[in-house]
């Protein structure tokens, strides 16, 4: 198949592209290589995909520009889109809420419109566990209400899910929304907690911890997430929303302990007040993913952190 992966130079996107190329698909990665973090990191991700020697094409472009999007679709007949491109992160969205709406909502409309106009029948799109907001019911299930979001990032993802439903209902596109839960592993963005904490630990610098360390996340190793993304790409669903998590919570304090053990360093913790927009807990009910996708996470946090650290140290040499 001809598959377009938006955000294909990023953390999760590059892993998805690799798997697709290894599976014999022709893959196009569309990415604007913006400076949210060092674009050189994304270029290294692309080099790793190109080194596979398979049918892979990188296109630099901005999804906010409909003419650029249409030009790409006019030149290639895509069988499917895996839409991973987004401005990510709760805290940065508090500083630039309008940017997050332009990238995560307006640009998503351009992707759906291009699919509709050019006859692409299927879109798999990354949503986020942040749509659950401050949800008192745990674990989080796909039919839980999403009216208690507490960040512009989360609001943009709720809007993206709504758009997906509209384009299925009105235009007949097959749409799967995957709510991802705190993905980590090799190539993780440098601003995310595990990568940031590892860097500070190695440098002997304090680790900023917002709150008392009890905040817990459902950390999901990237290979498990990619398994779920590819499984969603292989079946027809109509319209579905599916959680992809590990279905286990790990506190911030426990996460730091695991990093200390893997790096052989003791952390200096800098306690700070809780941040607006941060939810106290994420916890995925993955029964739907198991049933519909055959999803079965393989890498728990005790295995995943040492694997991440191995990659991290290799990059630091």
Residue 221 a catalytic site member: no
Instruction: Spell out the residues 6+ positions from residue 120 whose beta carbon is closer than 8 angstroms to its own.
Output: 4, 73, 78, 79, 80, 81, 114, 173
The DSSP bridge partners found for residue 207 are 269
Q: Write down the pLDDT at residue 274.
A: 80
Q: Write down the pLDDT at residue 273.
A: 86
Q: What phi, psi does 215 have (nearest 5°)?
A: -55, 135
Instruction: Spell out the residues 6+ positions from residue 317 whose beta carbon is closer than 8 angstroms to its own.
Output: none
Please state, in angstroms and rounded to a whole number, the distance separating the CA atoms of residues 164 and 200: 39
> Going residue by residue through the chain (317 aa), what tens digit of pLDDT does each one get?
999 999 999 999 999 999 999 999 999 999 999 999 999 999 999 999 999 999 999 999 999 999 989 999 999 999 999 999 999 988 899 999 999 999 999 999 999 999 999 999 999 999 999 999 988 788 999 999 998 899 999 999 999 999 999 999 999 999 999 999 999 999 999 999 999 999 999 999 999 988 888 889 999 999 999 999 999 999 999 999 999 999 999 999 999 999 999 999 999 888 888 877 778 889 999 999 999 999 999 999 999 999 999 999 998 65
The one-character DSSP state at 300 is -
Q: Write down the pLDDT at residue 148.
A: 87
Asked if 230 and 264 touch (Cβ cutoff 8 Å), the reply is: no
User: Please, what are the domains in the chain?
Assistant: 2-184+220-247+283-298 (3.40.50.720)
Evaluated on CA atoms 249, 251, 252, 256, the torsion sign reads negative
DSSP E strands, 106-145? 122-128
In 3-state terms, the chain is what percent helix, strand and coil (to 5)?
45, 20, 35
Please state, in angstroms and rounded to a whole number, the distance separating the CA atoms of residues 39 and 51: 19
Single out the catalytic residue among 132, 153, 167, 221: 153
From the number of C-beta atoms within 10 Å of its C-beta (0-12, 13-18, 19+), residue 134 rates as exposed
Q: Write down the pLDDT at residue 315.
A: 87
Instruction: Spell out the residues 6+ positions from residue 242 whose beta carbon is closer than 8 angstroms to its own.
Output: 142, 176, 177, 178, 179, 228, 232, 288, 289, 292, 293
Please state, in angstroms and rounded to a whole number, the distance separating the CA atoms of residues 30 and 102: 17
Q: Write down the pLDDT at residue 195.
A: 96
Please state, in angstroms and rounded to a whole number, the distance separating the CA atoms of residues 128 and 38: 23
């Amino acid at each position: 198949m001809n598959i377009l992966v938006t955000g294909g130079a990023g953390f999760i996107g590059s892993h998805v592209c690799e798997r697709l190329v290894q599976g014999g698909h022709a893959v196009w990665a569309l990415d604007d290589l913006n400076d949210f973090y060092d674009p050189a990191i994304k270029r290294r991700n692309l080099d790793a995909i190109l080194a596979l020697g398979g049918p892979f094409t990188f296109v630099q472009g901005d999804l906010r520009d409909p003419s650029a999007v249409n030009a790409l679709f006019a030149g290639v007949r895509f069988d499917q889109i895996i839409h991973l491109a987004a401005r990510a992160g709760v805290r940065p969205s508090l500083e630039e809420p309008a940017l997050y709406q332009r990238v995560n909502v307006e640009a998503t409309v351009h992707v759906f419109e291009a699919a509709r106009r050019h006859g692409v029948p299927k879109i798999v799109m990354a949503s986020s566990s942040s749509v659950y907001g401050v949800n008192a019911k745990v674990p989080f299930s796909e039919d839980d209400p999403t009216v208690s979001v507490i960040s512009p990032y989360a609001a943009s993802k709720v809007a993206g899910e709504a758009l997906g439903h509209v384009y299925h209902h009105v235009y007949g596109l097959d749409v799967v929304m995957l709510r991802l839960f705190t993905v980590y592993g090799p190539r993780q963005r440098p601003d995310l907690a595990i990568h940031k904490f590892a860097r500070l630990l190695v440098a002997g610098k304090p680790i900023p911890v917002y709150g008392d360390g009890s905040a817990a996340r459902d950390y999901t190793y990237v290979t498990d997430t990619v398994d779920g993304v590819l499984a969603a790409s292989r079946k027809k669903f109509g319209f579905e929303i599916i959680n992809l998590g590990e279905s286990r919570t790990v506190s911030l304090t426990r996460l730091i302990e695991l990093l200390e053990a893997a790096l052989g360093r003791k952390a200096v913790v800098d306690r700070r007040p809780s941040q607006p927009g941060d939810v106290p807990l994420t916890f995925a009910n993955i029964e739907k993913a198991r049933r519909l996708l055959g999803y079965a996470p393989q890498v728990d946090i005790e295995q995943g952190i040492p694997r991440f650290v191995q990659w991290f140290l290799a990059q630091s040499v």
